[in-house]
Amino acid sequence: MLSSMTGFASKVVHIERQGGRSFDANLTLKSLNSRFFEASCRLPSSFAYVENDLIKILRKKMLRGTVYANLYISSPSALKTFCHPSINLIKEYVEFLKNVGKQLDLAGKITVSDVIKFPNALEHSEEILVDPTIKDKVLSTFDELVDIVVENRVIEGKLLEKDIATRLENIKVLFEDLKKRFELVSKKKHDELVEYFKPALESQPGIARDMQLHFLQAQMDRYQINEELVRFSAHVSALEKTLKDESQEKAKRIDFVLQELFRETNTITAKANDADLSTFAISIKVEIEKIREQVQNVL
230 falls within a domain: yes
214 falls within a domain: yes
**pLDDT value of residue 30:** 96
Give the residue with greater pLDDT, 19 vs 120. 120
Which of 141-155, 240-254, 263-277 holds the top average pLDDT? Answer: 141-155
- The share of the chain scoring above pLDDT 90, in percent, equals 38
Average pLDDT (33-57) is 91
What gap in Å lies between CA 93 and CA 73, rounded to an integer? 34
Tell me: do 161 and 287 sit in the same domain. Answer: yes
Average pLDDT (150-155) is 93
95 falls within a domain: yes
1 falls within a domain: no
**pLDDT value of residue 127:** 57
Give the residue from 95, 243, 221, 112 showing the smallest Cα distance to 169. Answer: 243
Tell me: do 119 and 93 sit in the same domain. Answer: yes
Tell me: do 211 and 244 sit in the same domain. Answer: yes
2 falls within a domain: no
What gap in Å lies between CA 170 and CA 190, rounded to an integer? 30
Average pLDDT (119-133) is 69
What gap in Å lies between CA 251 and CA 262, rounded to an integer? 16
Tell me: do 133 and 186 sit in the same domain. Answer: no
Tell me: do 150 and 225 sit in the same domain. Answer: no
Which segment of 110-114, 208-212, 263-267 scores lowest on mean pLDDT? 208-212
pLDDT category of residue 124 using cuts at 50, 70 and 90: low
Which segment of 54-58, 130-134, 160-164, 283-287 scores lowest on mean pLDDT? 130-134
Per-residue pLDDT at 20 exceeds 90: no
Per-residue pLDDT at 131 exceeds 70: yes
Tell me the HSE value of 162 on the side-chain side, using a 13 A CA sphere: 6
Give the residue with greater pLDDT, 59 vs 198. 59
Tell me: do 244 and 267 sit in the same domain. Answer: yes
Give the residue from 121, 119, 137, 131 showing the smallest Cα distance to 54. Answer: 137
Q: Are the CB atoms for 122 and 153 separated by under 8 Å?
A: no
187 falls within a domain: yes
**pLDDT value of residue 49:** 87
Tell me: do 33 and 64 sit in the same domain. Answer: yes
**pLDDT value of residue 292:** 92
**pLDDT value of residue 209:** 55
Per-residue pLDDT at 224 exceeds 80: no
**pLDDT value of residue 1:** 75
Tell me: do 141 and 206 sit in the same domain. Answer: no
3-class SS of residue 221: helix
Neighbour count for residue 54 (Cβ, 10 Å): 23
Tell me: do 216 and 146 sit in the same domain. Answer: no
240 falls within a domain: yes
Q: Domain containing 35: what range?
A: 7-79+129-154
Which segment of 74-78, 108-112, 225-229, 277-281 scores lowest on mean pLDDT? 74-78
Print burial letters for 179-211: b (CB count within 10 Å at least 16), e (below 16): bebbeebbeebeeebeeebeeeeeeeeeeeeee
**pLDDT value of residue 247:** 74
Tell me: do 160 and 150 sit in the same domain. Answer: no
Print burial letters for 220-247: b (CB count within 10 Å at least 16), e (below 16): eeebebeebbebbeebbebbeebbeeee
Final residue belonging to a domain, choices 137, 154, 171 = 154
The number of distinct structural domains making up the chain is: 3
Average pLDDT (72-97) is 75
Tell me: do 59 and 166 sit in the same domain. Answer: no
Tell me: do 183 and 228 sit in the same domain. Answer: yes
What gap in Å lies between CA 78 and CA 264, rounded to an integer? 64
Question: What does 106-156 look like in DSSP terms, one character per residue?
Answer: ------HHHHTTSTT-EE--BPP---HHHHHHHHHHHHHHHHHHHHHHHHH
Give the residue from 234, 94, 261, 93 showing the smallest Cα distance to 171. Answer: 261
pLDDT category of residue 128 using cuts at 50, 70 and 90: low
- The share of the chain scoring above pLDDT 70, in percent, equals 81
**pLDDT value of residue 119:** 83
3-class SS of residue 58: helix
**pLDDT value of residue 32:** 93
Residue 113 main-chain phi, psi, to 5 deg: -60, -30
pLDDT category of residue 74 using cuts at 50, 70 and 90: confident
237 falls within a domain: yes
